[in-house]
Amino acid sequence: MKRLDSLTEQKSQEIRLELRRAALAISFLLLSGTAWYHFIEGWKWLDAAYMTMITLSTVGFGETHPLGDRGRIFTMTLITSGVLTIGYTANTFTDALLGGYFVEERKLRLRRKLVKSLNQHYLICGFGRIGRQIADEFAAEKAPFVVIDSSAEQVEIAQKCGYTAIQADATLDETLIELGVERANCLVTALPSDAENLYIILSAKSLNPKIRAIARASTEEAVQKLQRAGANTVISPYITGAKRMAAAALRPQVLDFVDGVMTSSSGAFYMEEFLIDQNICPVAGLSLREARLRSQSGALVLAIRRHGGELIVGPTGETVITGGDNLICMGTAEQLRLINRLLDPPIG
């Protein structure tokens, strides 16, 4: 990525350059004035420096030692140069202060520091209507995420919502590397262009083959291409929207229940998935009856996704839990916390 938040950074660099030039100009005037009064007028170094300082600051003190015509002409030139240089410096500093560039630069450094510290985070490419809704859901779940969008306007909107947002081209490898794709847990690309979504999936999977990639698609053909590119899940808003509308018409109560559990709108029940680690999970190799997850936590195991992809819906007590399985569970927040401790106990 060539630049994050490029407009803010470019303006900050310009202001820093102008202030640096002004500081060099003031330093040159101080040295020139001191040297003149010492070598030409024959004053002591302290008197020469003092005269130069009060001249440039225009405080109105008198001459340290009497000056001739040549010395007064130089002093007038020094005053004029000092007034112009200090005025330019003050104007530049005021412009930066009123424009908020110092604050924006500080925010930029903090965002970069935050991005570098992220681990197992989520990347959202695109902050349109769909991307914003995804960000809202992630924020509600308190999941760490970064929004990437090439539009300065969309980035500003995301930042006003309180989200960490970066203006950059997500189709570039350098952008994904800068935002920690190798450490990320999941990438969601929700750009309106199927081609851009395809490029992002290809880049992300080449940089981190293990990352879970979710993509938006506009057509059925794009769904197939994105799946071939390595997307774990491809969602078409039009197809999914049509299916949900049909479900709302045919099975409204079922849809309301599923929506309530999936979005936690009721605040009572939640659904969560837990990966079984063969090395540390104490229930790996046991049946559900032997693991006693329901009796110890109260959470219900709705389904088990085997490592090979097989989905077991409504597992019985004799179903064996194996390493690499994903348990899909439902329960209250406390019940899910309990089952998480049972499946992943603290070491030591």
Domain ranges, ordered by start, for the chain? 6-102, 119-242, 252-343
Q: Are strands 186-189 and 122-125 parallel, antiparallel or unpaired?
A: parallel
State residue 267's pLDDT score: 57
Q: Cα-flanking dihedrals φ and ψ of residue 285, to 5°?
A: 95, -5
Indicate if the alpha-carbon torsion angle 308, 314, 319, 322 is positive or negative. positive
The residues, any chain, with a CB within 8 Å of residue 290's CB and separated by 6 or more, are: 283
**Assessment of whether the complete model's pTM goes beyond 0.85:** no
Q: Extract long-range pairs of 73-77: CB within 8 Å, 24+ residues apart.
A: 74/36, 74/40
Fold of 252-343: Alpha-Beta Plaits (3.30.70)
Task: Evaluate whether 6-102 and 119-242 have a shared fold.
Answer: no
Q: Which amino acid is at 227?
A: Q
Query: What is the rounded CA–CA span in Å between residue 331 and residue 311?
Result: 20
Position 1 scores a pLDDT of 42
Instruction: Provide the CB-side half-sphere exposure for 234 (13 A, CA).
Output: 20
Amino acid at 93: F
Give me the pLDDT at residue 103, please: 66
Task: Answer yes or no: are the C-beta atoms of 279 and 319 closer than 8 Å.
Answer: no
Residue 101: the pLDDT is 67
Residue type present at position 103? V
Distance of alpha carbon 12 from alpha carbon 100, whole angstroms: 10
Per-residue tens of pLDDT for the chain, all 348 residues = 444 455 556 666 777 788 788 889 889 999 999 999 999 999 999 999 999 998 888 786 778 888 888 989 998 999 899 888 888 888 877 776 666 566 666 766 776 777 778 889 999 999 999 999 999 989 988 889 999 999 989 998 998 999 988 888 999 998 899 889 999 999 999 999 999 999 999 999 999 999 999 999 988 899 999 999 999 999 998 888 888 889 889 888 887 777 776 665 555 678 888 989 888 889 999 999 999 999 999 999 999 999 888 999 999 999 999 988 999 998 888 898 899 888 876 554
Q: Enter the tokens of residue 87.
A: 């005025």
Domain 6-102: top CATH class: mainly alpha
Q: Which CATH architecture has domain 119-242?
A: 3-Layer(aba) Sandwich (3.40)
Name the residue among 98, 95, 117, 115 with its Cα closest to residue 107.
115
